[in-house]
Each structure stands twice: as C-alpha cells, then as structure tokens.
C-alpha cells in the first residue's frame, strides 16, 4: 500500500506541540504516555508511512530534557498478567522496555508499583531493579479514590505517596500495559510539586482515537476494534462541544472521569487548566495524513483483521464472544464483512480445491503467491519460500533449500522430538536459509528481499503456532487466519 502519512512532518509537529505545552506551565510537564513506545504495528498499519519507531524517535528529540517514570500495577505482577502481543508478563515487558531505552541512553528515573497491598511477587521485581540500580517507589490505594476529591488531594491521599525527585522539564510517565496507574502517578507528582512551589503541568499523549477526524472515520473505528476487549467506545467529547462548539472524538473512559479529574486539577493547581478531555491531548496525527482515501482503506482492512483475530482468540479459548459481537457492530456501521478481505476469499477457494492447508500472501502489485503444506513444510514456510523466490525472480523449479538439506534437518528434529511426523516451521526454514547463504550466493541475494515483504497481506487456512506468528509479525506481514485449529 502506498504511503499516506508524512512521518517527518509528524515528528516536527508533535515536538512543537509538546514544547508548547511545557511552556504553558513552570517549564515542567508530566506527560502521560499511552500506547506502545516501541513497535507500534497498529499505527503503521492504519497510517501507511507511519514509522513503527516514530514514538521512540520523538522521545529522542527530547533526550537532553527527558526522563521516564514507569508504572506497573502490583496486581498485574502478582497474577503474572500476560501481554497477548508478546506472550510475556507485564514485569518482563517492563524490564525489556527499560533495557531498550537505556541502550538509547534515555534516562530512566524510576519504577512506580501502584495499588500495592502487600503482593509477594513485588519483592522479586524490587530485587531485580535494585541490581540494575533503578529506584522503585510504592503507591498504595487511596480510600475514596477518585471521587472523594478533598481526601485524594491531601496529605492523606496523594500526600501519602512518596515524592519522586525529577530534574528534567519533560517527565514521561508510561507503562508496560493498560490500567497501570499512569494518570494517578502524574497527579500525585503534581500534588507534591505544587507543595514545593513548582507549578508543573499535566498532558496526555495518545495516538488514537484521532480527535479531529470524524467519529466514524475508519482510523477511529479501527482503534475501537483494537480495544473491543476493553469495551472502550469512541464518542463525541461533550465538554469540547459545549465549550468550543467543535466536535472532537475521545473515548468513554476519559470522558466519564473528566469532571472528577478536572476538580482534582483545580484542587491541586487552584485554577481551571483544561475545559475538556480533548484539551489535555497533544495529538497531531490528522495534520500529517497526505492521502485520506488510502488511510481510510487501511483502516477498514485493520477492522477486518481485528475481527479475524477475535474469532481466532475465541477458538483458542483466550477471547470471548462479546468482543466478536462488538467488532461485528462496528463492521456493520461501515458496511463491512469478511468478504471484503480478498486474500481470505482466495484461500477459501484454494482449500476447497486442494483439500490441503494453505497460506496465501498478496504482494503490493496485487499478485497472490500461495504455499501449501507438505510432509516437510508448514503452509507458512512454503508460502515464505515461494514469495522470496518470486521477489528474487528465481524460477519455480529451482530449489533454495535442496530436498537433501530439508531432509537432514527433518530427521534431526524427528529424532529429537520423537515424532513420526514433523514439519519444518518458518523460523527453522529462515535459519536454514541463513546458514546456506554463506556458501550459496543465490540464497544470499534472495534473502535481501525479505524487507520487501513488510506490509504484505496474508491469510492462512488455520491458526498457526505462536512461534510462526511471531516470525510473521517480525517480517511485517499482516496475517489473518481462519478460526480453525489443526494437529
């Protein structure tokens, strides 16, 4: 899909907007930072041209004036809550983020464990952070939070939380996942700053929903589909409409709690800073869209992909029917259905004819390349090999991996796993190609085409393994699958 978003302009405008917000206050801003800092695949899919590392590039622009506070909910640590996209716990994701940011020499101030009531697993995280010389602070639940504003904004509320010393003018407060206590941490810090005579500010950085696009714009609907399991709903911000007579899109949780948040901010600062939830944001996405038609198409494709994901999650027992129904409602509002995903229809036709599992990959040109499972290869492995051969203009009859090489790997794996039937998965095929490329210049040249696969659409006739799915994601291929379990 052609580019429809100016990433360079986005970084410029976003930096300017944040700098403007910093100057509104005592040259110190606590910025609640939502979404993924690294690997923002959703944004890059729905905004062709948006770089997956755009947010980290933005933070690097503030490198000398920036420090980061991480929040993590003690209950998520105790329950070992898993991030579905990475398959790792929130605590491990926290450490991964810290490692990646430290490699970029971005200052990590500390980690705040919120909602602490004595959860035993918190001590393990504390020990790890101490070994890494990273400070950890504890926030306990505040009685009456957030409704009892008088108590919340007092020494018995935010005042009970330890003050986190910060030295930079931009303090980004972020987390490894949702509901980690970012907002409460920002407000707690504001309380302590004002007690010390520092008139710091608060703002919110969220990529989606895009406040100045229509409510039913496919980009905003795609965001709602992506959070259907959280039951987030995009609505028109009534506060913004009342105060400015401008329609702005926000989501239900921010709007439902705004009156309380507004009162807390007034209690802390002594004045009204924001008139609406939309006022709090610093989003400049809409100004960087260069081709709205292409963006709308990308958004509709993402909605359908989310629908297939919900179907597969339900089949695997990790999703629920409510999420499926919610996305179906969104699809109906835009007159979408499964048939709008052409690559899925193609797979359905192929499997009816061949009776074999298949994956199809659609190139930017629109051409569809398929791969069928065999005794040696899974469908994703076969499809991958066929696509890179096609991109490198290698004839079908030429083997990238000779049958003897595949057979040798197959026998070793078979003996190791004690299985009569074993197929080489996608990661094993890529490793085999990498090894063979050292002595085969054709394979070395072919592998240079892997990056061209980023953004290709794909569909599989069954739910592939997590290991193969992770490889597909790393290749940048947008995969959906039929909700079928095999094997």
Classify residue 411: in a domain, yes or no: yes
Question: Are 247 and 365 contained in the same domain?
Answer: no
Q: Residues in the chain, how many? A: 487
Classify residue 323: in a domain, yes or no: no
Count: domains in the chain: 2
Nearest to 182 by CA among 89, 261, 289, 255: 261
Classify residue 328: in a domain, yes or no: no
End-to-end CA distance of the chain: 34
CATH number assigned to the domain comprising residue 471: 3.40.140.40
Question: Are 362 and 430 contained in the same domain?
Answer: yes
- Going by the DSSP 8-state scheme, the letter that residue 246 receives in this structure is -
- Going by the DSSP 8-state scheme, the letter that residue 159 receives in this structure is G
CATH number assigned to the domain comprising residue 178: 3.10.630.10
Classify residue 335: in a domain, yes or no: no
Provide the residue-wise pLDDT of the chain in tens; the chain has 487 residues.
Answer: 789 999 999 999 999 999 999 999 988 999 999 888 888 889 999 999 999 999 999 999 999 999 999 999 999 998 886 666 666 788 999 999 999 999 999 999 999 999 999 999 999 999 999 999 999 999 999 999 999 999 999 999 999 999 999 999 999 999 998 889 999 999 999 999 999 999 999 999 999 999 999 999 999 999 999 999 888 899 999 999 999 999 999 989 899 999 999 999 999 999 999 999 999 999 999 999 999 999 999 999 999 999 999 999 999 998 999 999 999 999 999 999 988 999 999 999 888 888 889 999 999 889 999 999 988 889 999 999 999 999 999 888 887 877 677 677 767 776 666 555 678 899 989 988 888 888 888 888 899 999 999 999 999 999 999 889 989 988 999 999 999 998 7
Classify residue 305: in a domain, yes or no: no
Q: How many CB atoms lie within 10 A of CB 122?
A: 20
Residue recorded with tokens 């010389």: 133
Question: Are 248 and 352 contained in the same domain?
Answer: no
Domain that holds residue 114: 7-209+240-288
The answer to whether 276 and 239 have CB atoms below 8 angstroms apart is yes
């Amino acid at each position: 899909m052609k580019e429809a978003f100016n990433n360079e302009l986005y970084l410029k405008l976003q930096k300017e907007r944040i700098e403007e917000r910093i100057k509104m206050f005592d040259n110190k801003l606590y910025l609640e930072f939502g979404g993924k800092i690294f690997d923002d695949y959703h944004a890059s899919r729905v905004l062709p041209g948006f770089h997956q590392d755009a947010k980290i590039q933005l933070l690097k622009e503030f490198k000398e004036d920036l420090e980061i506070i991480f929040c993590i909910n003690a209950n998520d640590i105790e329950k070992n809550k898993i991030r579905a996209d990475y398959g790792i716990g929130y605590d491990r994701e926290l450490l991964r983020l810290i490692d990646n940011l430290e490699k970029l020499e971005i200052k990590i101030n500390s980690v705040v464990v919120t909602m602490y009531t004595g959860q035993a697993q918190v001590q393990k995280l504390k020990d790890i952070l101490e070994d890494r010389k990273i400070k950890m602070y504890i926030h306990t639940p505040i009685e009456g939070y957030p409704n009892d504003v008088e108590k919340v904004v007092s020494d018995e509320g935010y005042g009970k939380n330890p003050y986190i010393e910060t030295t930079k003018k931009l303090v980004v407060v972020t987390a490894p996942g949702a509901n980690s206590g970012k907002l409460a941490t920002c407000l707690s810090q504001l309380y302590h700053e004002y007690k010390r005579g520092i008139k710091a500010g608060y703002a919110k950085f969220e990529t989606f929903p895009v406040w100045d696009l229509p409510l039913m714009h496919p980009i905003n609907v795609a965001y709602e589909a992506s959070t259907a399991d959280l039951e987030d709903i995009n609505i028109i911000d009534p506060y913004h409409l009342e105060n400015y007579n401008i329609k702005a899109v926000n989501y239900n949780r921010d709007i439902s709690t705004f009156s309380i948040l507004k009162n807390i901010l007034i209690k802390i600062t002594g004045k009204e800073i924001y008139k609406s939830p939309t006022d709090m944001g610093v989003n400049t996405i809409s100004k960087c869209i260069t081709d709205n038609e292409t963006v709308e198409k990308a958004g509709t494709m993402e909605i359908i992909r989310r629908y297939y994901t919900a179907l597969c999650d339900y089949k695997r027992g990790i999703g629920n029917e409510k999420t499926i129904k919610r996305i179906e409602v969104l699809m109906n509002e835009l007159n979408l259905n499964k048939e709008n995903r052409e690559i899925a229809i193609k797979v359905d036709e192929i499997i009816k004819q061949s009776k074999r599992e298949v994956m199809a990959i659609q190139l930017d040109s629109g051409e569809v390349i398929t791969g069928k499972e065999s005794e040696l290869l899974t469908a994703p492995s076969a499809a991958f090999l066929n696509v890179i051969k096609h991109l490198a203009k290698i004839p079908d009859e030429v083997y990238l991996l000779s049958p003897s090489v595949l057979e040798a790997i197959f026998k070793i794996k078979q003996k190791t796993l004690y299985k009569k039937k074993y197929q080489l998965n996608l990661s094993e095929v890529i490793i085999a190609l990498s090894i063979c490329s050292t002595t085969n210049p054709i394979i070395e040249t072919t592998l240079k085409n892997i990056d061209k696969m980023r953004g290709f659409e794909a569909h599989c006739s069954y739910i592939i393994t997590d290991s193969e799915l992770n490889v597909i994601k790393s290749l940048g291929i947008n995969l959906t699958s039929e909700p079928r379990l095999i094997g």
